[in-house]
Amino acid sequence: MAATHTLDLDRPKGALAPLVDKFGRTITYLRVSVTDRCDFRCVYCMSENMTFLPKRDLLSLEELDRLCSAFVARGVRKLRLTGGEPLVRRDIMFLFRSLSRHLASGALAELTLTTNGSQLARFADELAACGVKRVNVSLDTLDAEKFRAVTRWGDLAKVLVGIDAAQAAGLAVKINAVALKGLNEDEIPALMEWAHGRGMDLSLIEVMPLGEVGPERVDQYLPLSLVRARLSQRNTLEDIGYRTGGPARYVRVAETGGRLGFITPLTHNFCEGCNRVRVTCTGTLFMCLGREDAADLRAPLRASEADDLLQAAIDEAIAHKPKGHDFVIDRRTRQPALARHMSTTGG
Ligand code: SAM
């Protein structure tokens, strides 16, 4: 199959100077964690007893809007709201509604979100009305008991109703599943057939050593090279050039006709093509998910109503975007690569 590129990430005429780092990578994709809170406690993401940020430290939704808009003005074409769980932030639809003006103007090619699906039944129609076309739903297993064990608190039935609602609202749903040793590894073919049977792409993700979560990472980590080799014994996987602006590399599965993505931060690092940065709900900019390099954007944002200070801080930060990360998971490396949990920066 010929390469297909579904998203136009080219910069429209008249935009401010693009964000280009010292390795020549242009930043066109911003992920924003709008809250560090979540209604699940996935065993690879959070510990059971998390301490969350005091609400007063969070940027207001108006400030998040201003921050996102500053990036859009610099050529960011794709915006993903994430968390924590983005749909548990109070009045989050205000932010989606407000940001949708950048879709209407053509400055933004895509406004989307990553969600655990628990609140989708409530918000699917409104998201579609805001111009959201696609949503990533994280779902690691279709077994209700395992689902409860992985999420610690989640209810599979509620998530499935949320997925139904999203599809009924006309949203394209992509399922994201973290490949977990001994937990869902036997279920991956069934998960794929279920997703493809419903017209949904499935992306598999390697677990990353972010934050102290309780279980040992080495007991969770399942290399996708192994998953792919196993799948290849039962299915025909054809590499395709399909991209959605993120790190997944896709194959078409001949037997189902569906797309399967592999997100491989450990077995095959994709940093050379990185087009992303991340902002947390406190306005901290992380230039790389796998490194601690960060810049505070909250102070320059609040220091002036104009965006000059903010833009200068963004420029300074992008100039320091690291070349890449170097995650390691093995028996000798017992400490997480970073103290920060995935729920801080979002996926
Ligand atoms: N609550 C939303 C959700 O569940 O999709 C958004 C935030 S969640 C942190 C985003 C994605 O990161 C989810 O797909 C989750 O499975 C994934 N994730 C969390 N911790 C991870 C880790 N340590 N390694 C790899 N993926 C992780």
pLDDT of 96 strictly over 70 = yes
**Separation of alpha carbons 190 and 207, rounded Å:** 20
**Per-residue pLDDT reduced to its tens digit, 120-156:** 999 999 999 999 999 999 999 999 999 999 999 999 9
Whole-number pLDDT of residue 15: 60
Residues 6+ apart with CB under 8 A from 179: 185, 188, 204, 205, 206, 207, 222, 224, 227
pLDDT of 327 strictly over 90 = no
SS3 assignment for 84-126: CCHHHCCCHHHHHHHHHHHHHHCCCCEEEEEECCCCHHHHHHH
Whole-number pLDDT of residue 326: 73
114 lines ligand 1 (CB under 6 A): yes
138 lines ligand 1 (CB under 6 A): yes
**Separation of alpha carbons 287 and 243, rounded Å:** 21
Residue among 53, 47, 49, 113 nearest 86 (CA): 113
13 Cα–ligand 1 center, Å: 35
Positive or negative, the CA dihedral 201, 113, 37, 116 is negative
- Cβ burial, residue 112 (10 Å; 0-12/13-18/19+): buried
User: What mean pLDDT do residues 272-296 have?
Assistant: 94
1 Cα–ligand 1 center, Å: 30
Positive or negative, the CA dihedral 64, 170, 2, 253 is positive
**Per-residue pLDDT reduced to its tens digit, 71-90:** 999 999 999 999 999 999 99
220 lines ligand 1 (CB under 6 A): no
307 Cα–ligand 1 center, Å: 31
φ, ψ of residue 71 to 5 degrees: the values are: -70, -40
DSSP string covering 269-300: --GGG--EEEE-TTSEEES-TTS--EEE-HHH
Task: Specify the residue for token string 């093509």.
Answer: 273
pLDDT of 330 strictly over 90 = no
85 lines ligand 1 (CB under 6 A): yes
The residue whose CA has the least distance to atom 14 of ligand 1 is 138
**Separation of alpha carbons 342 and 275, rounded Å:** 19
Region for residue 212 given its phi and psi (left: phi exceeds 0; alpha: psi -120 to 50; beta: otherwise): beta
CB 68 within 8 A of CB 33: no
The residue whose CA has the least distance to atom 10 of ligand 1 is 347
151 lines ligand 1 (CB under 6 A): no
Of 11-25, 188-202, 288-302, where does the model show the most confidence? 188-202
**Separation of alpha carbons 76 and 35, rounded Å:** 21
- 11 pLDDT band, cuts 50/70/90, is low
208 lines ligand 1 (CB under 6 A): yes
What is the position in ligand 1's atom list of the atom closest to the CA of 347?
10
- 337 pLDDT band, cuts 50/70/90, is confident
Strand order across the 249-253 sheet? 237-239, 249-253, 259-263, 201-206, 172-179, 134-138, 110-115, 78-82, 29-33, 276-279, 284-286, 294-296
Structure tokens at 38: 């979540």
* Range scoring the smallest mean pLDDT among 104-118, 119-133, 281-295: 281-295
- 93 pLDDT band, cuts 50/70/90, is very high
Q: Are strands 78-82 and 237-239 parallel, antiparallel or unpaired?
A: unpaired
pLDDT of 250 strictly over 60 = yes
Task: Specify the residue for token string 């609040």.
Answer: 302
**One-letter amino acid of 136:** N
**Per-residue pLDDT reduced to its tens digit, 195-247:** 999 999 999 999 998 888 888 888 999 999 999 999 999 999 999 999 988 88
Whole-number pLDDT of residue 158: 98
Q: Are strands 237-239 and 134-138 parallel, antiparallel or unpaired?
A: unpaired
The residue whose CA has the least distance to atom 21 of ligand 1 is 45
Residue among 180, 212, 181, 179 nearest 336 (CA): 212
Whole-number pLDDT of residue 214: 85
- Cβ burial, residue 9 (10 Å; 0-12/13-18/19+): middle
344 lines ligand 1 (CB under 6 A): no
CA Rg value for the chain = 19
In testing the pocket of ligand 1, which one of 112, 134, 159, 205 has its CB within 8 Å of the most ligand atoms? 205
What is the position in ligand 1's atom list of the atom closest to the CA of 83?
7
The residue whose CA has the least distance to atom 7 of ligand 1 is 83
Whole-number pLDDT of residue 12: 56
In testing the pocket of ligand 1, which one of 178, 220, 264, 345 has its CB within 8 Å of the most ligand atoms? 178
CB 205 within 8 A of CB 178: yes
What is the position in ligand 1's atom list of the atom closest to the CA of 46?
20
- 9 pLDDT band, cuts 50/70/90, is low
45 lines ligand 1 (CB under 6 A): yes
**Separation of alpha carbons 9 and 23, rounded Å:** 19
114 Cα–ligand 1 center, Å: 8
The residue whose CA has the least distance to atom 4 of ligand 1 is 116
